[in-house]
Structure 1
Protein backbone atom coordinates (compact mmCIF):
# COMPACT_ATOMS: atom_id res chain seq x y z
CA UNK A 1 0.00 0.00 0.00
CA UNK A 2 1.16 3.51 -0.82
CA UNK A 3 0.00 6.64 0.95
CA UNK A 4 -0.34 9.71 -1.23
CA UNK A 5 0.72 12.88 0.62
CA UNK A 6 -1.41 15.16 -1.51
CA UNK A 7 -4.70 13.44 -0.87
CA UNK A 8 -3.73 11.34 2.17
CA UNK A 9 -5.33 8.39 0.44
CA UNK A 10 -4.11 4.84 0.63
CA UNK A 11 -3.76 3.33 -2.84
CA UNK A 12 -2.92 -0.32 -3.61
CA UNK A 13 0.22 -0.96 -5.61
CA UNK A 14 -0.77 -2.63 -8.83
CA UNK A 15 0.59 -3.38 -12.25
CA UNK A 16 0.13 0.26 -13.20
CA UNK A 17 2.92 1.23 -10.79
CA UNK A 18 6.15 0.83 -12.80
CA UNK A 19 8.27 0.40 -9.67
CA UNK A 20 6.44 -2.77 -8.70
CA UNK A 21 6.74 -4.56 -12.06
CA UNK A 22 9.62 -7.05 -12.10
CA UNK A 23 9.96 -9.50 -15.01
CA UNK A 24 9.67 -13.06 -13.68
CA UNK A 25 12.60 -14.64 -15.51
CA UNK A 26 15.16 -11.88 -15.07
CA UNK A 27 17.81 -12.45 -12.38
CA UNK A 28 17.34 -9.97 -9.55
CA UNK A 29 20.55 -10.34 -7.58
CA UNK A 30 24.21 -10.96 -8.33
CA UNK A 31 23.90 -14.53 -7.00
CA UNK A 32 20.94 -15.17 -9.34
CA UNK A 33 22.92 -13.81 -12.28
CA UNK A 34 25.84 -16.12 -11.46
CA UNK A 35 23.50 -19.10 -11.13
CA UNK A 36 22.02 -18.31 -14.54
CA UNK A 37 25.48 -18.69 -16.15
CA UNK A 38 26.27 -22.12 -14.66
CA UNK A 39 26.27 -25.06 -17.09
CA UNK A 40 24.34 -28.15 -15.99
CA UNK A 41 22.99 -31.43 -17.30
CA UNK A 42 19.28 -31.43 -18.09
CA UNK A 43 16.92 -34.19 -16.95
CA UNK A 44 17.23 -36.25 -20.16
CA UNK A 45 21.02 -36.09 -20.16
CA UNK A 46 21.21 -37.07 -16.50
CA UNK A 47 18.81 -39.96 -17.12
CA UNK A 48 21.04 -41.35 -19.88
CA UNK A 49 24.18 -41.00 -17.78
CA UNK A 50 22.58 -42.56 -14.69
CA UNK A 51 21.31 -45.47 -16.80
CA UNK A 52 24.90 -46.35 -17.79
CA UNK A 53 26.05 -45.69 -14.23
CA UNK A 54 23.44 -48.07 -12.80
CA UNK A 55 24.47 -50.87 -15.14
CA UNK A 56 28.13 -50.47 -14.23
CA UNK A 57 27.35 -50.36 -10.49
CA UNK A 58 25.42 -53.63 -10.90
CA UNK A 59 28.54 -55.26 -12.38
CA UNK A 60 30.67 -53.93 -9.50
CA UNK A 61 32.91 -51.79 -11.70
CA UNK A 62 31.79 -48.42 -10.34
CA UNK A 63 30.72 -47.38 -6.86
CA UNK A 64 30.41 -43.61 -6.56
CA UNK A 65 29.88 -40.46 -8.59
CA UNK A 66 30.04 -36.69 -8.29
CA UNK A 67 28.36 -33.97 -10.31
CA UNK A 68 29.99 -30.56 -10.72
CA UNK A 69 28.20 -27.62 -12.35
CA UNK A 70 30.80 -25.03 -13.29
CA UNK A 71 30.65 -21.76 -15.21
CA UNK A 72 32.00 -23.25 -18.43
CA UNK A 73 31.09 -26.96 -18.20
CA UNK A 74 29.21 -29.64 -16.30
CA UNK A 75 31.12 -32.73 -15.14
CA UNK A 76 29.83 -36.16 -14.07
CA UNK A 77 32.79 -37.93 -12.41
CA UNK A 78 32.77 -41.70 -11.90
CA UNK A 79 34.74 -43.38 -9.10
CA UNK A 80 35.58 -46.93 -8.11
CA UNK A 81 36.04 -45.72 -4.52
CA UNK A 82 35.09 -42.37 -3.05
CA UNK A 83 38.66 -41.55 -2.01
CA UNK A 84 40.23 -42.12 -5.44
CA UNK A 85 40.60 -39.96 -8.51
CA UNK A 86 37.75 -40.42 -11.00
CA UNK A 87 38.01 -43.34 -13.41
CA UNK A 88 36.06 -41.39 -16.03
CA UNK A 89 34.57 -37.95 -16.46
CA UNK A 90 31.59 -37.23 -18.67
CA UNK A 91 31.74 -33.55 -19.57
CA UNK A 92 29.31 -31.15 -21.20
CA UNK A 93 31.07 -28.08 -22.58
CA UNK A 94 28.71 -25.84 -24.60
CA UNK A 95 31.62 -23.78 -25.98
CA UNK A 96 32.71 -26.83 -28.01
CA UNK A 97 29.21 -27.58 -29.34
CA UNK A 98 29.89 -26.04 -32.76
CA UNK A 99 33.35 -27.59 -33.07
CA UNK A 100 34.10 -31.11 -31.79
CA UNK A 101 30.85 -31.51 -29.86
CA UNK A 102 29.68 -30.52 -26.41
CA UNK A 103 29.98 -33.99 -24.85
CA UNK A 104 33.11 -35.97 -24.04
CA UNK A 105 34.22 -38.98 -22.01
CA UNK A 106 37.64 -38.50 -20.44
CA UNK A 107 39.71 -41.27 -18.80
CA UNK A 108 41.63 -40.86 -15.52
CA UNK A 109 44.82 -40.20 -17.50
CA UNK A 110 43.22 -37.25 -19.31
CA UNK A 111 42.79 -39.16 -22.58
CA UNK A 112 39.62 -38.14 -24.40
CA UNK A 113 38.04 -41.50 -25.18
CA UNK A 114 35.09 -40.15 -27.15
CA UNK A 115 33.77 -36.72 -28.10
CA UNK A 116 30.68 -35.77 -30.04
CA UNK A 117 27.54 -33.74 -30.55
CA UNK A 118 25.13 -36.42 -29.28
CA UNK A 119 25.33 -37.78 -25.74
CA UNK A 120 23.98 -41.21 -26.75
CA UNK A 121 26.84 -41.78 -29.17
CA UNK A 122 29.46 -40.57 -26.71
CA UNK A 123 28.15 -42.89 -23.99
CA UNK A 124 28.46 -45.89 -26.31
CA UNK A 125 32.13 -45.99 -25.37
CA UNK A 126 30.97 -47.77 -22.18
CA UNK A 127 29.04 -50.41 -24.17
CA UNK A 128 32.24 -51.92 -25.48
CA UNK A 129 33.56 -54.66 -23.25
CA UNK A 130 37.08 -53.81 -22.23
CA UNK A 131 39.50 -56.74 -22.25
CA UNK A 132 42.64 -57.17 -20.21
CA UNK A 133 45.67 -57.95 -22.37
CA UNK A 134 48.38 -60.13 -20.83
CA UNK A 135 51.95 -59.62 -22.00
CA UNK A 136 54.07 -62.70 -22.72
Structure 2
Protein backbone atom coordinates (compact mmCIF):
# COMPACT_ATOMS: atom_id res chain seq x y z
CA UNK A 1 0.00 0.00 0.00
CA UNK A 2 1.10 3.50 -0.74
CA UNK A 3 -0.20 6.78 0.58
CA UNK A 4 -0.71 8.12 -2.96
CA UNK A 5 -4.14 7.74 -4.57
CA UNK A 6 -4.65 5.29 -7.39
CA UNK A 7 -4.91 7.04 -10.72
CA UNK A 8 -7.08 5.74 -13.47
CA UNK A 9 -6.07 6.18 -17.09
CA UNK A 10 -6.70 9.77 -18.09
CA UNK A 11 -6.79 11.17 -14.54
CA UNK A 12 -4.54 14.13 -13.92
CA UNK A 13 -2.40 14.49 -10.84
CA UNK A 14 -2.33 17.90 -9.22
CA UNK A 15 1.02 19.68 -8.93
CA UNK A 16 0.72 19.81 -5.14
CA UNK A 17 0.52 16.02 -4.78
CA UNK A 18 3.31 15.37 -7.29
CA UNK A 19 6.97 15.34 -6.33
CA UNK A 20 8.12 16.18 -9.84
CA UNK A 21 7.07 19.09 -11.99
CA UNK A 22 7.21 19.13 -15.78
CA UNK A 23 8.61 22.40 -17.13
CA UNK A 24 8.47 23.46 -20.75
CA UNK A 25 12.07 23.92 -21.90
CA UNK A 26 11.21 26.86 -24.16
CA UNK A 27 9.42 28.59 -21.29
CA UNK A 28 12.36 27.90 -18.94
CA UNK A 29 14.89 29.43 -21.35
CA UNK A 30 12.75 32.54 -21.79
CA UNK A 31 12.05 32.99 -18.08
CA UNK A 32 13.10 36.18 -16.36
CA UNK A 33 14.94 34.20 -13.68
CA UNK A 34 18.15 33.09 -15.42
CA UNK A 35 20.01 29.99 -14.26
CA UNK A 36 23.06 30.54 -12.05
CA UNK A 37 26.55 30.88 -13.54
CA UNK A 38 28.50 27.64 -13.18
CA UNK A 39 31.97 26.34 -13.86
CA UNK A 40 32.19 23.99 -16.83
CA UNK A 41 33.90 20.64 -16.54
CA UNK A 42 37.21 21.78 -18.08
CA UNK A 43 37.28 24.82 -15.80
CA UNK A 44 36.68 22.68 -12.72
CA UNK A 45 39.38 20.23 -13.86
CA UNK A 46 41.93 23.05 -14.02
CA UNK A 47 40.89 24.48 -10.66
CA UNK A 48 40.81 21.12 -8.90
CA UNK A 49 44.25 20.22 -10.31
CA UNK A 50 45.69 23.34 -8.62
CA UNK A 51 43.67 22.59 -5.48
CA UNK A 52 45.03 19.02 -5.31
CA UNK A 53 48.59 20.25 -5.69
CA UNK A 54 48.20 22.82 -2.92
CA UNK A 55 46.53 20.28 -0.60
CA UNK A 56 49.47 17.95 -1.24
CA UNK A 57 51.82 20.75 -0.19
CA UNK A 58 49.78 21.28 2.98
CA UNK A 59 48.78 24.87 2.14
CA UNK A 60 45.05 24.38 1.55
CA UNK A 61 42.63 22.19 3.47
CA UNK A 62 39.08 22.89 2.30
CA UNK A 63 37.07 24.46 -0.50
CA UNK A 64 33.58 25.70 -1.29
CA UNK A 65 31.82 26.27 -4.60
CA UNK A 66 29.13 28.91 -5.02
CA UNK A 67 26.95 29.30 -8.09
CA UNK A 68 25.28 32.69 -8.01
CA UNK A 69 23.15 34.47 -10.60
CA UNK A 70 25.95 36.82 -11.67
CA UNK A 71 29.10 34.75 -11.00
CA UNK A 72 30.55 31.40 -9.94
CA UNK A 73 33.01 31.28 -7.04
CA UNK A 74 35.53 28.63 -5.97
CA UNK A 75 36.85 29.54 -2.51
CA UNK A 76 39.83 27.83 -0.84
CA UNK A 77 40.51 27.73 2.88
CA UNK A 78 43.44 26.92 5.16
CA UNK A 79 40.98 25.75 7.82
CA UNK A 80 37.25 25.28 7.49
CA UNK A 81 35.23 27.98 9.18
CA UNK A 82 37.63 30.79 8.29
CA UNK A 83 37.45 33.38 5.58
CA UNK A 84 38.76 32.05 2.28
CA UNK A 85 42.46 32.48 1.47
CA UNK A 86 41.65 32.87 -2.23
CA UNK A 87 38.57 33.09 -4.41
CA UNK A 88 38.61 32.04 -8.04
CA UNK A 89 35.70 33.79 -9.71
CA UNK A 90 34.02 33.53 -13.09
CA UNK A 91 31.93 36.55 -14.07
CA UNK A 92 30.62 36.31 -17.67
CA UNK A 93 29.58 39.98 -17.65
CA UNK A 94 33.29 40.93 -17.72
CA UNK A 95 34.23 38.48 -20.50
CA UNK A 96 34.35 41.14 -23.21
CA UNK A 97 36.10 43.70 -21.01
CA UNK A 98 38.74 42.63 -18.48
CA UNK A 99 38.20 38.88 -18.67
CA UNK A 100 35.71 36.58 -17.00
CA UNK A 101 38.19 34.96 -14.60
CA UNK A 102 40.00 36.41 -11.60
CA UNK A 103 41.84 35.33 -8.46
CA UNK A 104 41.14 37.39 -5.33
CA UNK A 105 43.07 37.10 -2.05
CA UNK A 106 41.66 37.23 1.49
CA UNK A 107 41.96 41.04 1.61
CA UNK A 108 39.85 41.45 -1.54
CA UNK A 109 42.75 42.42 -3.81
CA UNK A 110 42.60 41.04 -7.35
CA UNK A 111 45.84 39.15 -7.92
CA UNK A 112 45.25 38.26 -11.56
CA UNK A 113 42.46 38.72 -14.09
CA UNK A 114 42.09 37.47 -17.63
CA UNK A 115 40.18 35.78 -20.43
CA UNK A 116 41.95 32.40 -20.11
CA UNK A 117 41.53 30.43 -16.87
CA UNK A 118 44.82 28.55 -17.33
CA UNK A 119 46.73 31.85 -17.49
CA UNK A 120 44.91 33.25 -14.46
CA UNK A 121 45.67 30.14 -12.39
CA UNK A 122 49.39 30.60 -13.04
CA UNK A 123 49.35 33.02 -10.11
CA UNK A 124 49.60 29.89 -7.92
CA UNK A 125 52.77 28.61 -9.62
CA UNK A 126 55.74 28.98 -7.34
CA UNK A 127 59.05 30.32 -8.56
CA UNK A 128 62.00 28.18 -7.55
CA UNK A 129 64.79 30.08 -5.86
CA UNK A 130 68.44 29.12 -5.77
CA UNK A 131 69.68 28.95 -2.21
CA UNK A 132 73.42 28.90 -1.68
CA UNK A 133 74.87 27.47 1.49
TM-score (norm 1): 0.72
Give the number of equivalent residue pairs: 110
Q: Say if 1:24 and 1:124 are closer, same or farther in 2 by CA, change over 3 A.
A: same
Ranges of 4+ aligned residues in structure 1 off by more than 2 Å: 22-28, 128-131
Cα distance in 2 for partners of 1:129, 1:81 equals 25
Structure 2: where are the runs of 5+ without partners? 1-8, 11-21
Cα distance in 1 for partners of 2:48, 2:23 equals 35
Structure 1: where are the runs of 5+ without partners? 3-21, 132-136
What does residue 65 of structure 2 align with?
67
Deviation at 1:83, TM superposition (A): 1.1
Alignment of 1:2-81 (within 5 A): 25-28=25-28, 34=33, 36-81=34-79
Q: Say if 1:128 and 1:113 are closer, same or farther in 2 by CA, change over 3 A.
A: same
Cα distance in 1 for partners of 2:90, 2:27 equals 24
Q: Say if 1:64 and 1:23 are closer, same or farther in 2 by CA, change over 3 A.
A: closer
Deviation at 1:130, TM superposition (A): 9.1
Deviation at 1:129, TM superposition (A): 4.1
Cα distance in 2 for partners of 1:121, 1:26 equals 36
TM-score (norm 2): 0.73
Deviations 1:58-90 (A, max 9, x none): 000000000000000000000000011000000
